[in-house]
Amino acid sequence: MNFTKKVSAIAITAVVLLIGTHANAQSFQKSKLRFGIGIDGLIPVGNLTNVANLGVGITPRLQLGIANNVALTFTTGYYHFFTKKVYVPVFIGSNTLVSYQNDLDIIPVKAGLKAFVSSNIYIGAEIGAGFEVDNGGGNTKLIASPAIGYASKKWEVGARYESFSGQHNNYSLIGVRLAYGFGL
C-alpha cells in the first residue's frame, strides 16, 4: 500500500470513528470566539511532487461566529516539507554531480468562512498568503483553499486542497488536519 493510500485510510478511519461516537451538535453562537490548534499531514500534488515527498504542519485557528452555523476563520501556522535530494553539475560540462537538499518551509496566513451543512459536517474556504521561508528570503504565494470536515465540541478532522500561486512557481497540496478546540 503506498503512502497516499495509507494516509487516506487513516483519515477516513478517524472520521468514521468520530462520527460513530457520541458528539453534541456543533454550532457557532453569534459573536462568540473559538480557538483551535491543529496538526497537519501535508501531501504534495502537482509540481510540488518534483521537490517534496510529504510535509507536516501546525495550524492555530481563530473562529468568530457570525451566525449559529457560520463562522469567520483566521488560520496561520507553519508548514515544513521534506524535500528530495537534487543533483547538479559542479560546473557546466562537468560529469561530477553534487547533491543538495533545501527544505521548504511556509508560513500560511489565511482568512475565510466555515459553514455547517449538518450538525457536525462543515464546508469551508480560505484565501490568503503563504510566505516561503529560506535563508535568502523566500517568495510570497497566493493561497486558495476549499475544505470539508467533521467537528464536535472539542475535536475536528478536516481535509483540504491548497493551491499556491505566484512568482512563476505554482504548486498545491492535500492537507489533513486534526485539531483540538475550545471556546474563548
For the chain, what percent of residues have pLDDT higher than 70? 73
Backbone angles phi, psi at 48, to 5 degrees: -65, -25
Backbone angles phi, psi at 169, to 5 degrees: -140, 90
Backbone angles phi, psi at 6, to 5 degrees: -65, -45
Q: What is the spatial distance between Cα 84 and Cα 179, in angstroms, rounded to a whole number? A: 28
Host domain of residue 58: 3-183
Instruction: Say whether pTM exceeds 0.85.
Output: no
For residue 4, the model assigns a pLDDT of 58
**Mean pLDDT over each residue of the chain, to the nearest integer:** 82
Identify which has the larger pLDDT, 109 or 183: 109
CATH of the domain at 119: 2.40.160.20
Q: Between the CA of residue 31 and those of 70, 95, 115, 183, what are the distances in Å?
A: 11, 65, 15, 11
Number of domains in the chain: 1
Q: What is the spatial distance between Cα 146 and Cα 148, in angstroms, rounded to a whole number? A: 7
Among 25-34, 55-64, 81-90, 136-145, top mean pLDDT goes to 55-64
Bridge partner list, 139: none
